[in-house]
Amino acid sequence: MGYETIRVEKRGKVGLITLDRPKALNALNAQLISELSAALDSFETDDRIGCIVLTGSEKAFAAGADIKEMQPFDYPKSYMSDLITPWERVSTNRKPIIAAVAGYALGGGCELAMMCDFILAADTAKFGQPEITLGTMPGSGGTQRLTRFVGKSKAMEMCLTGRMMDAQEAERSGLVSRVVPADDLLEEAMKAAEKIADFSLPVVMMTKESVNRAYETTLAEGIRFERRLFHATFGTEDQSEGMTAFIEKRAPQFRNK
Ligand SMILES: CC(C)=CC(=O)SCCNC(=O)CCNC(=O)[C@H](O)C(C)(C)COP(=O)(O)OP(=O)(O)OC[C@H]1O[C@@H](n2cnc3c(N)ncnc32)[C@H](O)[C@@H]1OP(=O)(O)O
């Protein structure tokens, strides 16, 4: 498939997707979301890909949903076209996705980053949910995911005032896993992705599924779910290989089996 609003590359076992609408600060329009979904589909079904990195430009990861595209919508059109719902493809991808964020991650841009499995931030990153300033509200998980990341008080302040958070505050609040110098962002994201992609893919996928379950269930149910998957890893050749390699003091050779 030819892409016009994103760049898609395979770097070894890592799938790299770069949002590429620089003139609009990577504003997320329907075409971009459709291309992003197609790229995610292709990486999800590609056995050689073990991890995905999603990034933007130096100035903007993404400045939100495309305001110019949304502006003419009325209620029936937004309801019938299920505006924004296709974005959820990012959160349903079963392979790990790392968001590498530099510059603005606003509105839908912040929500897109939060749909990924973790966020690495450049020291230039700025996160915010400014929809209130446009007479609307977050529509792609901002009130829900941001609240789970940073707690009610900060999420409420950000969604109600539109205030942006810089990278340091985002790290202190638990929104991002790490802050790195902007010049090192992609390299650090790729290093993390390569590390993940070298592990057993089925076990990586089970781990992702289990961590995500923590957001959707009680502690007791989540622990039961984790225990089932933990036991299931003993049905893989990779568990046997990993433990045998440790005992034999050699590097494991995982075969995703
Ligand atoms: C998901 C849901 C439900 C909702 C949303 O996401 S709503 C959108 C939320 N995002 C915003 O409100 C941010 C809007 N953008 C800005 O406030 C500013 O662009 C900025 C603070 C991010 C950067 O300001 P700066 O002065 O550096 O750059 P601009 O001249 O303002 O922008 C450059 C260029 O990009 C266009 N742009 C920026 N953001 C968007 C956007 N979200 N949708 C569409 N277009 C956007 C901007 O219009 C300008 O293009 P033109 O020069 O052609 O007007």
C-alpha gyration radius of the chain:
19
Where in the sequence numbering do the catalytic residues fall?
65, 108, 111, 131
Query: Ligand 1 pocket, 64 CB below 6 A?
Result: yes
- Taking alpha carbons only, the member of 189, 168, 194 closest to residue 18 is 189
CA–CA distance, 219 with 159 (Å, rounded to integer)? 28
pLDDT digits 0-9 by tens, 195-230: 999 999 999 999 999 999 999 999 999 999 999 999
- Taking alpha carbons only, the member of 98, 109, 120 closest to residue 60 is 109
Q: What is the ipTM of this complex?
A: 0.98
- Taking alpha carbons only, the member of 172, 174, 200, 164 closest to residue 63 is 164
Atom 37 of ligand 1, residue of closest alpha carbon: 24
Structural tokens at position 154: 């900060």
Query: Ligand 1 pocket, 229 CB below 6 A?
Result: no
pLDDT digits 0-9 by tens, 120-139: 999 999 999 999 999 999 99
Please give the distance, rounded to the nearest whole angstrom, from the Cα atom of residue 64 to the centre of ligand 1. 7
CA–CA distance, 233 with 62 (Å, rounded to integer)? 37
pLDDT of residue 1: 74
Please give the distance, rounded to the nearest whole angstrom, from the Cα atom of residue 24 to the centre of ligand 1. 7
Tell me how many degrees the CA angle 137-141-146 measures, rounded to the nearest 5. 95
- Which stretches in the chain have pLDDT values below 70? none
CB 188 within 8 A of CB 120: yes
